[in-house]
Structure 1
Amino acid sequence: MENEYNKKIKILHVAQAAGGVDRYLRTLLKYLDKDKFENIVVLSQDFKKEDYKDIADTFISIKMERAIGKHDIEAIKQLRKLIKKYAPDIVYAHSSKAGAIARVANIGMKNYCIYNPHGWAFNMQVSKKKQSLYTFIEKVEALFCNKIVCISNAEKKSALDKNICRENKLQVIFNGIDIEAYKQPYEHCIQRRNLNIPENAFVIGMVGRISKQKAPDVFVEAAKKIKDKIKNAYFVIVGNGDMEAEIKKYIVNHNMQNCFHITGWVENPMEYIRLFDVACLLSRWEGFGLVLPEYMLAGKPIVASKVDAIPDIIKSGENGILVEPDNAEDVKNEILRLYGDKSFRQKLVMQGQADVKKFDVQRVAAEHQRMFMDIVNGES
């Protein structure tokens, strides 16, 4: 495809799932060169137009649902009309559902197509039947895109293990956080007293959805074990989700109301992370785990599960500690170790703060820019 040097590369981004994908897309668009790229975003009803006011050239909302159903046909039709209308150089689909809709809608169009699964659906803890279905869909739809962006080496390995596509179609671009934004001073810093946390408490926290993937049940089970050993331990979960009632019931049943705080959904998780003495991510599966570099940036020792992409970020004993998934006893033992060894905690923190530079979203944007230019100029 011919690309004149004075013409911006037009990219039409498609996303259905908000949450982490929303954050990823917003930070990516923030740092893409606006003199070189025009960004059109076609997003589901779960996204907010005002969030894209200064970073996208065009914002369009269409109805897209997470579950597979007849409504997908209408979404494909609407998206195909928009692709014809805007004639982008590149269609870039973010996450599994948008990837399925966009790649079908784009069949036969004269542009390039990129897909970023943000964590393969077939790696989730679902039935074998669903895993097989998701794998089949990914294999078929891989035929209808030029590049698949993997946000970790683990994601690339999964694609090759499942024979999703040939290796040269896969490109690893590690995920990143907006380090520059975190350097800005906060208007209102949350203090321990705001959450009724004692000043002398040893605070163990996790940030993430209170859902099966993030294993909040393992966190609270470990919390009970830790509280028996560390009398001034206090626990914080930053987030909300479909397991919230179950987790709160466990807290009440084990008489832990006075040492546990659940924030619900918050706009500013970093302010809560600053209150932690130890930060956890105990996921059962994980496409990347963006909160891990956030923990590093905040100077917190990390305990994380040894699954999927997490070992790409955490090197156990160097910049954090890895534990087996679904193992509350393992979590307890490692947190007791951190509690008792301040110099070890400091060692992990110092290495984490050095390593976090590798996970800067400005590097993510720069790698995307090179990929976009190479694809349009026929070099990839």
Structure 2
Amino acid sequence: MRKIRILHVVQAAGGVDCYIRMLLKYLDKEEFENIMVCSQDFHKGDYKRLADCFEQIEMNRAIGMSDLKSIRVVRKQIKKYNPDIIYAHSSKAGAIARMADIGLKNRCVYNPHGWAFNMRCSEKKKMMYAGIEKMAAPFCDKIICISDAEKQSALDKKICKEEKLQVIFNGVDIKAYENGTHGKVKREDLNIPEDAFVVGMVGRISPQKAPDVFVRMAKLVKDEVPNAHFVIVGSGNQEAEVRKYAEDNGFEDSLHITGWVNDPMSYVELFDVACLLSRWEGFGLVLPEYMMAEKPIVATSVDAIPNIVRNEENGLLVEVDNAAEASEAVIRLYRNAKFKQNLVLQGIKDVHSKFDAQRVAKEHEKLFEELVR
């Protein structure tokens, strides 16, 4: 029996790129053949051992007339490779791929990786994004939601009928992490004392991830825990604002911003408490990564996050934009070692039972087989 050929169309890099590489790593190579058709933001070398073919085309994030050219080029690639399944990743590629595939004889799967209409933006933009999703929904066979919250959002917005939606929770590569090298980054590399209490976050320094709330929380924690240090693993357009707040409030020497790094988990290993204070979140993949690294979590109770973090069981949930509540949660973990350890132990159980990348691949394999066999 010949392999099932899947043509992946993807525009957004970042987390989506990581997701696809993880998926391709664990998809059965005896049964599936993977073709990448991706934007200029991707790197061919990253897919050398993962994809059977790699095509790079111009796809822009912003909506514009260039999308018509992208649709024509993607349609040409579909005809060239004649795949069994088109797998469109993220909103922009999802719209382009589904339009490009109209009238062609294959199956089409779409994964928005977090609905655009759930972002914090104007009501006008939310309505536009939801309208685009409704118009494109008839042109695919299945829509994969990365959490129960994402599925419910689709139902609330009447994007499509429920039977078209399938939840496949995100996952993390536990095997790679456990077999990897640990302790590569030392506290002294960041000028952090060994006895410091380290609170960290991984994410873009941009409004979605609320670095402004993180640094305000840091000030409140610092007032109570003088030897506290704070690490932001990432980069973004709010970095200057965050640094200025720390400087104005006298703890700039205790704030460490790494910029973009290849191995964020090496920095997560330095944390005593791990935070994700997002204002909106399609999934929050860093949360199971925190659990994998055996870190207690403080996160906002928004969108899909409560699907992963259960308050008082495997982490602590706080209100969005509430620096005071976040600081209280962090200080509680600082003062109660037993409670902190209980959260960590439950997190370890959860990440192995619910959020393993190999489970994500198996669920995709089953879906693909059902669509074409």
- Tell me if both proteins adopt one fold, taking TM over 0.5 as the criterion: yes
The equivalent position to 2:72 in structure 1, one of 70, 77, 83, is 77
Paired residue secondary structure (1:183): helix
Q: Which amino acid aligns with 2:223?
A: D
Quickly say closer, same or farther: Cα 1:321–1:188, change in 2 above 3 A.
closer
- Counterpart residue number, 2:369: 373
Q: Distance in 2 between matches of 1:84 and 1:335?
A: 54
Q: Percent identity?
A: 63
Q: CA deviation at 1:187?
A: 7.4
Q: Which amino acid aligns with 2:135?
A: V
Q: Distance in 2 between matches of 1:255 and 1:43?
A: 45
Q: Does 1:123 align with 2:118?
A: yes
Unaligned runs of 5+ residues in structure 1 are 1-5
- Counterpart residue number, 1:14: 9
Q: Does 1:297 align with 2:292?
A: yes
Q: Which amino acid aligns with 1:88?
A: P
Q: Distance in 2 between matches of 1:214 and 1:186?
A: 28
- Counterpart residue number, 1:3: none
Q: Does 1:281 align with 2:276?
A: yes
The equivalent position to 1:28 in structure 2, one of 8, 23, 27, is 23
- Counterpart residue number, 2:90: 95
Q: Distance in 1 between matches of 2:279 and 2:74?
A: 34
Q: CA deviation at 1:184?
A: 2.0
Q: Which amino acid aligns with 2:372?
A: V
CA offsets 1:71-93 (integer angstroms, 9 cap, x no match)? 11111110000101111110000
- Counterpart residue number, 1:134: 129
Q: Distance in 1 between matches of 2:183 and 2:201?
A: 21
Q: Distance in 2 between matches of 1:46 and 1:242?
A: 19
Q: Which amino acid aligns with 2:158?
A: N
Q: Distance in 2 between matches of 1:339 and 1:148?
A: 42
Paired residue secondary structure (2:108): strand
Q: Which amino acid aligns with 1:367?
A: E
Q: Does 1:105 align with 2:100?
A: yes
CA offsets 1:243-302 (integer angstroms, 9 cap, x no match)? 112111212222211111000000111110000000000000101111101100111100
- Counterpart residue number, 1:362: 358
Q: Which amino acid aligns with 1:295?
A: Y
Q: Distance in 2 between matches of 1:262 and 1:52?
A: 29
- Counterpart residue number, 1:252: 247
Q: Distance in 1 between matches of 2:358 and 2:330?
A: 33
Q: Does 1:228 align with 2:223?
A: yes
The aligned length equals 372
- Normalising by structure 1, we get a TM-score of 0.97
Q: Distance in 1 between matches of 2:250 and 2:306?
A: 35
CA offsets 1:164-200 (integer angstroms, 9 cap, x no match)? 0000000000000111100123277111011100111
Q: Distance in 1 between matches of 2:123 and 2:218?
A: 32
Q: Does 1:331 align with 2:326?
A: yes
Q: CA deviation at 1:321?
A: 0.3
- Normalising by structure 2, we get a TM-score of 0.99
- Runs of at least 4 residues off by over 4 Å: none
Q: Does 1:41 align with 2:52?
A: no
Q: CA deviation at 1:66?
A: 0.5
Unaligned runs of 5+ residues in structure 2 are none
The equivalent position to 1:311 in structure 2, one of 283, 306, 312, is 306
Paired residue secondary structure (1:139): helix
Q: Which amino acid aligns with 2:227?
A: N
Q: Distance in 2 between matches of 1:248 and 1:231?
A: 19
Q: Which amino acid aligns with 2:365?
A: Q
Quickly say closer, same or farther: Cα 1:71–1:57, change in 2 above 3 A.
same
- Counterpart residue number, 1:144: 139
Q: Does 1:165 align with 2:165?
A: no
Q: Distance in 1 between matches of 2:21 and 2:240?
A: 31
- Backbone CA RMSD of aligned residues: 0.8
Q: Distance in 2 between matches of 1:105 and 1:250?
A: 47
Q: Does 1:214 align with 2:220?
A: no
Q: CA deviation at 1:48?
A: 0.4
